[in-house]
Chain A
Amino acid sequence: MPTIKSLEDLQKIREEALKKREIKSTPGSIQIIVGMGTPGIAAGARDTLKEILGMIEEKNLANITVRQTGNIGMDSWEPIVQVVLGEAAPVTYGKVTPFAMRKIMEQHVLGGNVVNDYVVPA
């Protein structure tokens, strides 16, 4: 069981977030979707997801929604990650290693510039 201490910690985090108005009823304006079907997992999607979560912690990013999707039938491009910034059209990236994910986080998610090297050709 999670200890009482960790629940107290979470309670404190929640109070802080309330003060800073970080709790919203709508999903965050930035969505990152990771393909976690069998081909995605086999190709390394878990470590890609881990990199996203690591960067959220490291850069203190409070407005990102992380979701997963199942097998989308582009096995040779796995791990596949989609980035949706606000109203912009989703950008689909392929063969997203943790290294590639870091670049996508820095340049696209934080900088607003699509990383063309990893975009899956339409």
Chain B
Amino acid sequence: MHLLQGRTQRPSMKEIALHLLDLAENSVSAGSQTVQICVCEDQQANLLTASVVDDGPGMSPEMVQAVTDPFVTSRTTRKVGLGLPLLKGAAEACQGGLTIASAPGAGTRVEVFFQHSHVDRMPLGNLSSTFLGLAVAHPDVHWIFKYTARNTGAEETFEYDDQPIKETLEGLPITHPQVLACVRGIFEDGIGAAKAVLP
């Protein structure tokens, strides 16, 4: 008997960073080779925007429609997950929205935005942990991460492209303890420094 056996918990994704992880996992399982995640916290425009862009096989208009509708999503399209309709609902509840631009053969771009100051807006959450998890779990994917913080008169961007890092490592895995510490530092310090322009 399992110690914690009991009722299934309701799935909960209460961080934007977790939704981005989920979206990026969708991109990878669809067969994308390059995935770019951009997050922008704009205090001046009172907006929080995030996007996941991939070069995967893309989706037909019918499928785009289906993945954002929780009632249409069937077991066969389950691979795409229930995360998208949840995220769309959360954004719309915060004067925001979610759009998907995709076509067969042309990749997929998912964009979500929230009113930054909205009381119901879920927190951005641990972006470094999401980035590190993706980089470790999918070493063969080309990852580009970007985080921008904007405030009146100040803007700071952290940008990470894993291409030069992989070239430097030449086959040494990212899970090597010292490499892991170094890459974690790049994310935490970079995002932390950019966040400093926000109040």
Which residue numbers of A lie inside 8 Å of B, CB to CB?
1-3, 6-7, 9-11, 13-14, 16-17, 22-23, 25, 28, 34, 36-39, 41-43, 46-47, 49-50, 53, 56-57, 59-62, 64-68, 70-71, 75-76, 94-95, 117-121
| B132 cross-chain contacts in A, Cβ below 8 A | 50, 53
Given A22-B176, A68-B137; 9 other pairs, CB 8 A cutoff: A16-B178, A17-B178, A36-B25, A36-B133, A37-B25, A39-B11, A49-B133, A50-B129, A57-B180
Tell me the count of chain B residues lying within 8 A, CB to CB, of chain A. Answer: 49
Interface residues of B (CB under 8 A from A): 1-4, 8-9, 11-13, 18, 21-22, 25, 29, 78-79, 81-83, 126, 129-130, 132-133, 136-138, 159-161, 164-165, 168-173, 175-182, 184-186
Task: Find out whether the CB atom of B137 lies under 8 angstroms from the CB atom of A49.
Answer: yes
Question: Are the C-beta atoms of B172 and A41 separated by less than 8 Å?
Answer: no
B177 touches A62 (CB 8 A): yes
Cβ A41 vs Cβ B29 within 8 A: no
Given known contacts A13-B182, A50-B133, is B13 in contact with A62 (CB within 8 Å)? no
Interface Cβ pair total, 8 Å cutoff: 132
**Shortest distance between the CB of B168 and any CB in chain A (Å):** 5
A106 to chain B, nearest CB (A): 16
Q: Contact between A23 and B159 (Cβ–Cβ < 8 Å)?
A: no
CA distance A120 to B1 in the complex (A): 9
Residue of B18, B130, B171, B172 most packed against chain A (CB within 10 A)? B172
User: Which of the residues A38, A53, A56, A57 comes within 8 Å of B22, measured between beta carbons?
Assistant: A38
Whether the Cβ atoms of A66 and B186 lie closer than 8 Å is no
CA distance A11 to B21 in the complex (A): 29
Choose one: A10, A16, A39, A53; the contact of B175 (CB below 8 Å). A53
Q: List 27 A-B contacts (CB under 8 A).
A: A2-B165, A10-B168, A10-B182, A17-B178, A28-B173, A36-B133, A38-B25, A38-B83, A42-B13, A43-B9, A46-B126, A46-B130, A49-B136, A49-B137, A50-B133, A53-B132, A53-B180, A56-B175, A56-B180, A57-B180, A68-B25, A70-B25, A71-B78, A75-B8, A94-B2, A118-B2, A121-B1
A70 CB, nearest partner CB in chain B, Å: 5
